[in-house]
Structure 1
């Protein structure tokens, strides 16, 4: 019999999770200097798990270390932004295609709920909640694939790419997801799983084009340079 007991987060894991969330939401914007003592005091932990967490976030590309050992939240260049989109596309589309055949009626109901939360948050102007609900929409399908390592890698890329989404609710970068998720959901509810996979892949084509437009023309506030 398999136990459902979940091992609690270690202090390092808890700090990693908290800092990753703050980076993704823009609470810690690119260029922010990370100081061990300040973070430890704010989070109510010792300096050791903070140092370990920052080391892990550095390995994941979320933190840059300057020659003088100063640690800063990393930024995005035009080249790295598009590279992140390409990596996210490879991981997410592979996970989605692998998980879609395992979806149950309960999964699809959860997708409908997440989509409502996603669009509702955008209507309220809450981009943090919209980002979380949008990521959960894909995660439901990817996790149905059963490949937790794939989801772990995807989570890291999504956090870094998410900075491009942390802008005004009306940004053109949201449009591929709002339209695409809605159409993917409709296809799944009709039982057209192959069509849903094809439409999901198309989201990334449209999203990359929107990112390129912003990068080259600077149409959106907060776009990477």
Structure 2
């Protein structure tokens, strides 16, 4: 029996759509969000829009003021660095716990995700690159069997994708390209201990790249 993907609810679909638009910069920081306008544009009722906005506010992507005005949250370099630190803690722990449970099939899937990742960047498809890069780590974390940990990683990744929307030519991608490739080569060679060390090093290099990146807007956004 072949597997199939259960269609998302309207709330989930709207949440995914708005999250992607915020991550890509289609909805830049400070954008005022109005229920009726979003519902009309997305072809849904107001209820799933309100539910989606509530969820994205929990994720830190939307600010809700005391008078209930909703705007896309700003994103500063300080926030980006803090997210990198949290990503390193969560994903690094998940990777270390799952690496010994990886099968040859898992490693082959990681090779495929890495190929997709590089190809997506080469063609300028940043959202696809972000998805493939996240899946690269997810395969290892899920091998450890901790779904709660993976849920937390997913949340942090969703927030950090706004910074990675700088474009496919941004230098912040290079630590991931080099790190994923070298981590994968170590796994394929059977050196799982060194693979964990190299994977954790990605975040050190990524943090340095984020710190060196230029911020151009007054609100601290890239």
Work out whether the TM-score is over 0.5: yes
Alignment match, 1:126: 125
Distance 2:96 2:60 in 1: 27
Tell me the distance in 1 between the aligned counterparts of 2:24 and 2:143. 26
Partner of 1:166: 165
User: Secondary structure, in 3 states, of the residue corresponding to 1:174?
Assistant: helix
Work out whether 1:224 is the aligned partner of 2:221.
Answer: yes
Q: Deviations over 1:93-115 (max 9, x none)?
A: 11111111111111111111111
Rounded Cα–Cα distance in structure 2 between residues aligned with 1:8 and 1:19? 17
- 1:109-124 superposed matches below 5 A: 109-124=108-123
Match of 1:79 in 2: 78
Instruction: Quote the offset at 1:131 in angstroms.
Output: 1.4
Q: Give yes or no for contact 1:23–1:159 (8 Å, CA) kept in 2.
A: no
Question: In the alignment, is residue 53 of structure 1 matched against residue 52 of structure 2?
Answer: yes
Higher relative contact order (CA 8 A, sep 6+): 2
- State the secondary structure of the residue aligned to 1:173: helix
Measured in 2, the distance between the counterparts of 1:36 and 1:142 equals: 36
Gap runs ≥5 in structure 2: none
Report how far residue 159 of structure 1 moved.
1.3
- Cα–Cα, structure 1 residues 55 and 93, in superposed 2: closer, same or farther, change >3 Å? same
After superposition, the CA RMSD in angstroms is: 1.9
For normalisation by structure 2, the TM-score amounts to: 0.90
Q: What are structure 1's unaligned runs of at least 5 residues? A: none
Deviates more, 1:88-97 or 1:7-16: 7-16
Q: CA deviation at 1:152?
A: 1.2
User: In 2, are the aligned partners of 1:58 and 1:65 still within 8 Å (CA)?
Assistant: yes
| Paired residue secondary structure (2:75) | coil
Report the number of matched residues.
217
Provide the TM-score with structure 1 as the length reference.
Answer: 0.89
Contact 1:81/1:224 (CA < 8 Å) preserved in 2? no
Alignment of 1:12-27 (within 5 A): 12-27=11-26
